[in-house]
Structure formats: structure tokens, C-alpha cells
Amino acid sequence: MTTRPGIRASIRTAVAARPGRRTAIGVVVVALYLALLVGLPAGSASALAGTAGSTATAGAADGMTLPHRTVWHADGSVEKIADPAAVAALDAATAKQASKAQFLIGCGRACDAKDPTSYIFDIGPCSSDGTEIYSRTADFMSVKLKYSPRCRTTWTIGCCYTALANRSFYSNGTLRAPVYNWDARYQGDWRRTTMLDDANLYNDACFDVQAGGSPEWWCTSRY
């Protein structure tokens, strides 16, 4: 991976661009960095799919509960990757409670750009069995890829002062669809994107390390 030493400078530029709030943001950033370490919950989200969106509650930014390994990337970021066997066990347990056909497709494309906390599929909202399977952290910015075995969808939750993306790819690596939360770049708490179908697809979670201009996405591995 290419080293990108400009990330801290970009963050300083973003803070400096708001002189009236510099001190307050500095205090918030320190507090939120500590919050990332202990996995504190945080507030609401404005989720954007392309240029349209909705608001909802991001929910608790809980830590990874599945067995996992930790990868230290050359760019200084840290990634946690759930044990594939543990994720497969989640899928297997879900399959026992649903028809085979239902499990194979989940809620499909109907779930694209939907709010995981309010979109109802089968017995409840997709967020009810949402599980963190990947995460990536750099400085005070972090994203988590959440996966619903029942809905066969993913979404991104992330913090702080960074745009968020949830992307879906075909098996050949071609991008199928992205959803974004651009408002998250102005927020110092946990925010979320809307969902994307992940049945027979490969999805990731990303945050933007640029303070302005074209996004430079740092992403988790794809699931």
C-alpha cells in the first residue's frame, strides 16, 4: 500500500478552515479519539445514496465481537478482519431459520439505498442482526463494515469528520453501486450510510482522508 503522509496535514487544514470552532473541535477530536479506542456509542446520521438521502440514528459503534485478526498497513492504518469461519457460522445459523431460497438472495436489490434500521425484511429491520465483520482506523477516523446475514446486505458506520462510503462490486472487480454519507465530514460522532445488497457480491466500507477536493478513499477489505 502507498504511504500517504498528508492525512494529518489534511485534517489540520480542515480544522483550521473553521476558526471560530477550532478550540472546540480540538477538544472534541481528542475525546472522540479516546471514544474510538473504547467503542463508545454516538448519535444520528444523514445517509446519502448518490445525491439523495435520509436521516436516522447511527446506533452504538460497538467493537468487533467475532474472532478476528489485526493487520497494520504501511500507510499507518489498522484493519481488523473477522475470521471467515466465524462469519460462515453466522450465515449457517441464519440459513437454519429461513428458507433456502430466502437466504440465498436475502432482500436483494430492494435493499439498495435503504436505511438498515427501518427497512423491514422477514422478521424485522436488517440492523437487528447487523454484525461488524471488518474495520479500518487511521488517526481519529474509523469505519466499520456491518453485515446482516438475514438481509444479505452491508452498510458502513464511521467517525469522525470524514465522508463515508459503502461500495458493492461484482466478482470481476467491477463497481456495481456505491452509497455515500457526505454530511459525515462535518460531524464528530458516529454516522452511517444506507445499505447495499451483498448476496454473491463483494462490499467494503470506506472513509475519505482528504479535507477537500476529490475524495481519497481508504477502505476495508471486501466481503
How far apart CA 153 and CA 194 sit, in angstroms, is: 10
Each residue of 70-86: pLDDT tens digit? Answer: 999 999 999 999 999 99
Give the CB-side neighbour count of residue 184, counting CA atoms within 13 A: 39
The CB density around residue 4, as the number of other CB atoms within 10 Å, is 17
Q: Which residues of the chain have pLDDT under 70?
A: 1-62, 98-104
pLDDT (0 to 100) of residue 221: 96
Predicted TM-score of the model (pTM): 0.72
Would you list the domain boundaries of the chain?
7-219
Angle, vertex CA 63, rays to CA 59 and CA 68, nearest 5 = 140
**What does the block give as the cell for 168?**
458493492
Q: What integer pLDDT is reported at residue 22 of this predicted model?
A: 31
Separation between Cα atoms, residue 213 and residue 215, nearest integer Å: 6
Distance in angstroms (rounded) separating the CA atoms of residues 189 and 58: 9
Write the CB contacts of 56 (distance below 8 Å, at least 6 apart in sequence): 44, 45, 47, 115, 117, 118, 192
Summarize pLDDT for 139-155 with one digit per residue, the tens: 999 999 999 998 999 99
The DSSP secondary structure of the chain, one letter per residue, reads ----TTHHHHHHHHHHT-GGGHHHHHHHHHHHHHHHHHT----EEEEEETTEEEEEE----PPP-S-EEEEE-TTS-EEEEE-HHHHHHHHHHHHHHS-HHHHHHTTGGGGTT--TTT-EETTEEGGGG-EEEEEEEETTEEEEEEEETTTTEEEEEEESSS-EEEEEE-TTS-EEEEEEESGGGG-SS-EE---EE-TTSEEEEEEE--SSSS--EEE----
